[in-house]
Amino acid sequence: MADTIRIRDVSVCLERDGQGCPLLLLHGFPATRRLWSHVAPQLVSAGYRVLIPDLVGYGDSAAPAGLGIDMASQARWLLELLDRLGVARPVIIAHDVGSAAAQLMVANAPERIRGLAVLDGVHASEWAMAAITSIQAWDPADAHRLYPVLARRLAKTAALREMLAAYQGEQGGLKLIRAARDLDPGQTADIGERLRASGVPAIVLWGERDEFLSIQGVGQPLAELLHASLVRLPGGHFTPLDCPTEVAGALRTFLASLPTDR
C-alpha cells in the first residue's frame, strides 16, 4: 500500500514494507516505483525494510508547476523524507538517473548513508541524454501521443508496461516531458572527489545488454570511483525487471557484507 507524504510544496507517493535495516529504492527515467515490484518482496523476505518512493514529479508523486524536479532537488527532498520518517543511515539502491540523486546524497551527507548500490546508473556527466532528446523536444500539445511511442520502444514485457502505465494520457505525457527537460548531467559532473572520499561502501550492478549506458564506458569507471565491485547481470538496462532474482541475490550479498551500524 502506498502513502502520500507532504514535504514542503511537493508530495511523495511512498510504498514501504518489512522490518530491519532500511533500504531506500530509487527509480530513474522514465520509470516509477514499480521498477522494484519484483525485487522488493525478495528483500523484505530476507529481513529488510524497503522504502520505495516515486521521485517528485514522476509516477504518483507531484510538484507544483514551475518548480524544478531535477536530481539535486530530488536528493534534498529524499533527505527530508528520511527525516520525516525518522530513518537513520539507510542503504540506497538506485537505478539509472535515480543514481544521480543517490550520488548527490552520498557526496553531500555521507554520514547519513550506510551503503550505496547503483544499478545501470550514471557517472559524472554521462547520463545517456541522447536517448531522451526526442522527449525533451516533444510538443506538449501532443503529450497524449507520447506514451504509445514510449511503450512501443521500451515496454517489451508486461512488467515494463506496468511500470510505465502512470504516463498514459495527456497528463502522463506532460509529466514525462517536464521530467526529461529538468534532467541536468552537470549536477554530478564535478562530485567525483567527494564520492571517492565519502567512505560509503558501494557496489555497482550492470546489465550485460544495457543499450543506453555501457558497462565499459560508464559502469567500470563508476565502480573504480566508488572503490566498488562491478557485477554483471543477465539483463538489459532495466535489470530490476529483467532479472530480479539475480539483482536481489547480488544485493543480499552486498547488504550482508556491510559493517553493523553502531
Rounded percentage of the chain residues whose pLDDT exceeds 90: 94
Characterize 22-59 residue by residue with b for buried, 16 or more Cβ atoms within 10 angstroms of its Cβ, and e for exposed: bbbbbbbbbbbbbbbbbbbebbbebebbbbbbbbbbbb
pLDDT at 207: 98
pLDDT value of residue 155 = 75
Q: Could you give the CA distance from residue 120 to residue 176 in angstroms, rounded to a whole number?
A: 20
CA atoms within 13 A on the CB side of 245: 1
pLDDT band, very low/low/confident/very high, at 126 (cuts 50, 70, 90): very high
Q: Please tell me the predicted confidence (pLDDT) of residue 260.
A: 81
* Mean pLDDT in residue range 234-243: 97
Euclidean distance between CA atoms 52 and 34, whole angstroms: 9
For the chain, give every domain's residue range.
Answer: 2-129+184-257
0.95 exceeded by the pTM? yes
Give the C-alpha separation, 148 to 125, whole Å. 29
Cell readout for 30 is 522514465
Question: How does pLDDT run across 45-100, given as a tens digit for each residue?
Answer: 999 999 999 999 999 999 999 999 999 999 999 999 999 999 999 999 999 999 99
Statement: 2-129+184-257 belongs to CATH 1.20.1530.20: no
Closest CA to 118 of 26, 181, 47: 26
pLDDT > 70 in the chain, percent: 99
CA 171 to chain centroid: 22
The per-residue pLDDT for 262 is 52
Q: What is the mean pLDDT of residues 8-25?
A: 96
